[in-house]
């Protein structure tokens, strides 16, 4: 049996019902924890609600800086895009939530932590595996997965127990943080239905975006952005700013079919203006400073890193191993990328770097080129040797 439970609390219906349900089922003290990872909510309201429902203590933790520096920045270095589409924005926040749950549990001498994830998603993996990896002695509870209540039954439970619920029925299930918004459910469950306009909050309809393009210069050092248009910014300000400007230009909308780790194929819609813009710029800069063999290998490493994050394995030692490689290559990922943001597209239109491997004297078609074309004659022959020799046996 457990006596003190630290619950990850969002203020929504599931975790609100969970406060009461856990308290009754285990006859335990409930401590709630809400992280600010840039989701821009009324945290005072959430705190009041937690106490009202019966939490004995509430922690409101501003984790924005840590989230940006230790979670989003590594994702930028790894060009993290799950299945080439999803910048793993929700996924990145979960191991940080797990870490804070464990910290609070230790501070409060709690013997269990709890979360509101269902049994159908990826988030249960991300939170539970991270908690267990950090402290295997803690019990992890997943009330939403265990209680077997439908949404209507939850609302009924809330009514009966005087748990305040919002009067407007939510059309979508939304999770958001500094790196993006995830929108699921309702009419989006039919993969043929185009997203209604009310899905989008951070991006303007590209056809209503400004007629004039916005030119934005993003400066990178050590593989992460440090300046926008020449102005130094902390990671939070920088990402906020790119979100705003790219969003105004209609950039950031994503709609795809995603493979969840539990096997479900799901239709997922996201809004990630900064992620799409910054990763596009970062990839381009890498192409200028890393050689072809490094780039080819880094794609494999990036893919593996992204999969670990998506699949709930943030705490796996392999992540550190992969980051050793990624961080080494990032030492040369420095320079400025010029982007054109225009009606839904973020296009790279210029780049420069002190580590550039681009050499105009070699590349130019001008007669001044230092590239010795006579060397190519033998090179072409040798390069094609096996292809030419084996082609004749192709059946």
| Interacting residues toward ligand ARG by CB under 6 A | 90-91, 122, 173-175, 182, 184, 258, 268
The answer to whether the beta carbons of residues 31 and 5 sit under 8 Å apart is yes
The burial of 227, by beta-carbon neighbours within 10 Å (0-12 exposed, 13-18 middle, 19 or more buried), is given as: middle
What minimum distance in Å lies between the beta carbon of 145 and ligand ARG?
A: 14
What minimum distance in Å lies between the beta carbon of 126 and ligand ARG?
A: 8
Closest to 29 measured CA to CA, from 132, 130, 104: 104
Cβ proximity to ligand ARG: between 91 and 163 the closer is 91
What minimum distance in Å lies between the beta carbon of 176 and ligand ARG?
A: 9
Q: Name the catalytic one among 36, 111, 173, 369.
A: 173
What minimum distance in Å lies between the beta carbon of 35 and ligand ARG?
A: 15
Q: Other CB atoms closer than 10 Å to residue 153's CB: what's the count?
A: 12
Closest to 15 measured CA to CA, from 56, 60, 53: 53
The burial of 19, by beta-carbon neighbours within 10 Å (0-12 exposed, 13-18 middle, 19 or more buried), is given as: buried
Q: Name the catalytic one among 29, 89, 93, 94.
A: 94
Burial 157-181 (b: 16+ CB within 10 A, else e): bbeebebeeeeeeeebebbbbbbbb
Is 366 a residue of the active site?
Answer: no
Which pairs from 353-362 meet CB under 8 Å and 24+ separation?
353/285, 353/288, 353/289, 355/289, 356/288, 356/289, 357/288, 357/289, 357/290, 357/291, 358/288
Q: Name the catalytic one among 10, 16, 123, 240.
A: 123
Measured CA distances, 328 to 223, 258, 325, 364 (Å): 10, 31, 5, 31
Kindly calculate the radius of gyration of the chain based on its CA atoms and give it in whole angstroms: 25
The answer to whether the beta carbons of residues 353 and 289 sit under 8 Å apart is yes
Q: Name the catalytic one among 10, 14, 29, 240.
A: 14
Cβ proximity to ligand ARG: between 10 and 329 the closer is 10
Cβ proximity to ligand ARG: between 175 and 302 the closer is 175
What minimum distance in Å lies between the beta carbon of 172 and ligand ARG?
A: 8
What minimum distance in Å lies between the beta carbon of 174 and ligand ARG?
A: 6
The answer to whether the beta carbons of residues 295 and 283 sit under 8 Å apart is no
Is 146 a residue of the active site?
Answer: no
Cβ proximity to ligand ARG: between 91 and 218 the closer is 91
Q: Which residue has the tokens 């009419």?
A: 187
Is 123 a residue of the active site?
Answer: yes
Cβ proximity to ligand ARG: between 151 and 159 the closer is 151
Cβ proximity to ligand ARG: between 257 and 300 the closer is 257
What minimum distance in Å lies between the beta carbon of 94 and ligand ARG?
A: 8
Is 145 a residue of the active site?
Answer: no
**For residues 133 and 94, what is the distance between their CA atoms, to the nearest angstrom?**
13
Cβ proximity to ligand ARG: between 121 and 335 the closer is 121
What CA dihedral angle connects 7, 8, 11 and 13, to 10 degrees?
-70
Q: What are the catalytic residues?
A: 14, 94, 123, 173
């Amino acid at each position: 049996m457990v006596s003190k439970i630290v619950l990850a609390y969002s203020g929504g219906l599931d975790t609100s019902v969970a406060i009461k349900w856990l308290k009754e089922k285990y006859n335990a003290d409930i401590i709630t924890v809400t992280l600010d990872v840039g989701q821009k909510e009324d945290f005072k309201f959430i705190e009041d609600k937690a106490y009202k429902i019966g939490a004995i203590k509430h922690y409101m933790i501003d984790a924005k800086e840590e989230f940006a520096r230790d979670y989003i920045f590594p994702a930028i270095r790894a060009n993290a895009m799950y299945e080439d589409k999803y910048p793993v924005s929700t996924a990145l926040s979960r191991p940080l939530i797990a870490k804070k749950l464990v910290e609070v549990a230790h501070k409060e001498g709690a013997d269990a932590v709890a979360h509101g994830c269902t049994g159908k998603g990826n988030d249960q993996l991300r939170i539970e595996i991270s908690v267990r990896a950090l402290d295997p002695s803690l019990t992890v509870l997943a009330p939403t997965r265990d209680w077997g209540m439908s949404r209507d039954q939850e609302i009924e439970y809330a009514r009966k127990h005087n748990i305040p619920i919002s009067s407007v029925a939510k059309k979508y299930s939304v999770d958001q943080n500094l790196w993006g918004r995830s929108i699921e459910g309702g009419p989006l469950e039919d993969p043929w239905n185009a997203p209604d306009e009310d899905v989008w909050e951070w991006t303007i309809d590209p056809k209503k975006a400004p007629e004039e393009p916005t030119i934005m210069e993003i400066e990178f050092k050590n593989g992460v952005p440090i300046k926008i248009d020449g102005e130094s910014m902390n990671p939070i300000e920088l990402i906020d700013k790119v979100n705003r400007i790219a969003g105004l230009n209609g950039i950031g909308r994503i709609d795809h079919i995603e493979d969840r780790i539990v096997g479900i194929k799901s239709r997922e819609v996201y809004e990630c203006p900064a992620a799409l813009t910054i990763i596009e710029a970062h990839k381009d800069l890498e192409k200028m400073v890393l050689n072809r063999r490094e780039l080819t290998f880094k794609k494999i490493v990036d893919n593996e890193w992204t999969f670990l994050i998506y699949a709930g394995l943030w705490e796996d030692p392999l992540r550190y191993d992969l980051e050793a490689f990624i961080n080494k290559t990032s030492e040369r990922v420095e320079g400025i990328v010029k982007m054109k943001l225009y009606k839904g597209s973020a296009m790279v239109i210029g780049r420069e770097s002190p580590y550039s491997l681009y050499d105009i004297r070699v590349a130019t078609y001008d007669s001044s080129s230092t590239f010795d074309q006579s060397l190519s004659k033998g090179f072409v022959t040798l390069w094609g040797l096996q292809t030419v020799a084996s082609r004749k046996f192709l059946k």
